[in-house]
Chain A
């Protein structure tokens, strides 16, 4: 029995099942695409927690000040989380120079993002609380597109579409594609109340609900995911919009990318373990029965599928070839003289070929919808982003998941 093949098929079947489920949801229910007109302007607090962000903080604050929203209805708080660089002075000087009265600066000893946000909540006056990472900027019309969705009293969080800002390197272009797909997927998840994380850049919370769930967890690797789980536990809604936009900077280097994803994935696993009673729990509807198990198993699926297929179809044959070439003292002349087409129809595994074609077709359908709903062009940043995403992303994710499993196995501690 070829157990490796069976594992690969199991991973394929589960991914196929989930993809079909969401495609059915998409065709049956559609997406939340209607832009709601703002009728009244409630007071909104925008909190910008910053740690060593002297290079980015001004751009972020300026994007908030440029919001198309009445200035007297904005309560802007910058929390300097004990930065070691000049963040505090940079922002203070900027505000002094521009004489801006509705921006408050709070300094605290370094205590982490969760603590910084809680500090901001304590000092906030707004009916709604928006957090904005200091490496992100927001589109001027984002807030006025988001606020009207709070008319439904059960809506706890409204999320904008997050895009990667001016991707330059191949890794950033890959993430640009990844974000468009992820946020398209999240908007679909929000149709069935299945959003499991409200990311840092410009997620808007109803403050009363945020207080009801006890604010943000401190010393948590993914406090944005933890607070979302608490909100889901109370059955409130998290809405993912696609018309309001926020722009964030993507890690440039492979090391920075791995570090960021390692924290995300690890935080996800740890928080899911803490909220394990929600998993496969009918009380939480599709969120408990499909979304949380999917999130929980995605790491195992990625590692299983990618590592087994890479081992079987790339590394093992490559290793075999090297051993073989070594055994003939790398006499390629003879091989070249007898060169022929590397395979015939007898060599093809038609089941796997069919599954690969199905996967690529479905992936292209989803990518097409994602780009269309996020108003982007596939070739905006060159030809590379989509092929890179399809070919490399799974391997990168599997690699990071592996590092997470290793870290957890050896009990490595990690700070935010």
Chain B
């Protein structure tokens, strides 16, 4: 009878330990760096909030002479950068969901705060800016067209320098967002509010271009 060597038990265990070790390093690296990403966003948001407060103080001190301050519009790029960063982090499997939701909620509040100033700036200073409010959902089942709608709006923002866009996730449970939806009669995503007029549902590029003043 031919005898066969026993299983190499020791090697199985060492391979398991090494594979698990390498795998854990990968997971830990992902978690650590994703956490660093969130901290970076938090830092950007604090910087943005400080600039916004600064703007408010200047407005109060100068008794509403907001037109003297170009910062209102300058802040748009910063706000967009934070928004794009949050979008990239959203897809990362290592992201702490609670922390992300908190950051998104905070971002939405900053957006509303900036939007209010932008509307005031637009009205009082004779700027002919088109302000678009975009209500979306990341839930693909709830909003199949949101990805395309978002892409069209990015395109519009890049093409037309006088367009300012504010995006709000309707799934964020926040009183300010709910109020914003209520005053604009928004009930579902996607919905666009272009210069105070509501356009519910998906709106293609041509339609959006017609509604803005160019």
* Nearest opposing residue in chain B for A325, CB measure: B151
Do the beta carbons of B155 and A328 come within 8 Å of each other? yes
CB contact under 8 A between A328 and B152, given known A320-B147, A334-B159: yes
Whether the Cβ atoms of B204 and A327 lie closer than 8 Å is: yes
Main secondary structure of the interface of B (DSSP, over half): helix
Q: How far is it, in angstroms, between the C-alpha of A328 and the C-alpha of B93 when the chains are bound?
A: 30
A154: B residues at CB distance < 8 A? 2
Q: Of B8, B14, B15, which is within 8 A of A192 by CB?
A: B8
B17 to chain A, nearest CB (A): 9
Is the CB–CB distance between B148 and A327 below 8 Å? yes
Q: Does B172 contact A (CB under 8 A)?
A: no
CB neighbors of A among B32-71 (8 A):
33-34, 37, 40
- Say yes or no: A235-B15 contact (C-beta < 8 A), given A328-B152, A354-B26: no
- A286 CB within 8 Å of chain B: yes
Known: A192-B8, A344-B88, A349-B93. A327 touches B30 (CB 8 A): no
Known A5-B93, A351-B30; contact A329-B205, beta-carbon cutoff 8 A: yes
Say how far B163's CB is from chain A's closest CB, in angstroms: 12
**Could you tell me which A residues sit within 8 Å of B by CB distance?**
2, 5, 9, 12-13, 16-18, 20-21, 24-25, 28, 154, 192-193, 234-236, 282-287, 289-290, 320, 323-324, 327-329, 331, 334-335, 337-338, 343-347, 349-352, 354-355, 358
Question: In the complex, A20 Cα to B11 Cα: how many Å?
Answer: 9
Please determine whether A323 and B148 come into contact, CB atoms closer than 8 angstroms. Answer: yes
B183 an interface residue at 8 Å Cβ cutoff? Answer: no
Please name the residue on chain B nearest to A17 by beta carbon: B19
Docked complex: B112-161 residues within 8 A CB-CB of A: 147-148, 151-152, 155, 158-159
Q: How far is the CA of A13 from the CA of B3 in the complex (A)?
A: 32
A197 and B203 CA atoms in complex are apart in Å by: 61
Pick from B8, B15, B25: contact of A354, CB below 8 A. Answer: B25
* Residues of chain B within 8 A of A324, CB atoms compared: 147-148, 151
B12: contacting residue among A5, A16, A21, A354, CB under 8 A: A21
Bound-state Cα–Cα, A156 to B193, Å: 79
Total A-B residue contacts, Cβ distance less than 8 Å: 112
> Can you name the residue of chain B whose Cβ is closest to the Cβ of A323?
B148
State whether B7 touches A21 (Cβ < 8 A).
Answer: no
- Let me know if B5 and A350 touch, CB within 8 A: no
- B85 within 8 Å of A (CB atoms): yes
Closest Cβ of chain A to B94, distance in Å, is 6
A-B contact pairs, 5 of them (CB 8 A): A2-B93, A17-B19, A235-B4, A323-B148, A350-B30
Structural contact, B158 and A334, CB atoms closer than 8 A: yes
Interface residues of B in 17-32 (CB under 8 A from A): 18-19, 22-23, 25-27, 29-31
CB of A21 within 8 A of CB of B155, answer no
A327 and B25 form a contact (CB under 8 A): no
Which of B4, B6, B88, B94 is A347 in contact with, Cβ under 8 Å? B88
Contact present for B205 and A328 (CB under 8 Å): yes
Residue of B6, B15, B205 near A327 (CB, 8 A) is B205
Q: In whole Å, how far is B15's beta carbon from the nearest beta carbon of chain A?
A: 4
B:69-97 near A, CB below 8 Å: 85, 88-89, 91-94
Chain B residues with CB below 8 A from A289, complex form: 7, 12
Q: How far is the CA of A181 from the CA of B36 in the complex (A)?
A: 40
Q: Is A28 a contact partner of B11 (Cβ separation < 8 A)?
A: yes
Nearest chain-A residue to B38 (Cβ)?
A346
Q: Which of A24, A25, A327 contacts B152 (CB 8 A)?
A: A327
> Is A282's CB under 8 angstroms from B7's CB?
yes
Expressed in whole angstroms, the Cα–Cα distance for A351 and B147 within the complex equals 25
A355 and B26 contacting across the interface, CB-CB below 8 Å: yes
A18 to B204, CA, bound (A): 51
Whether A354 lies near B29 (C-beta < 8 A) is yes
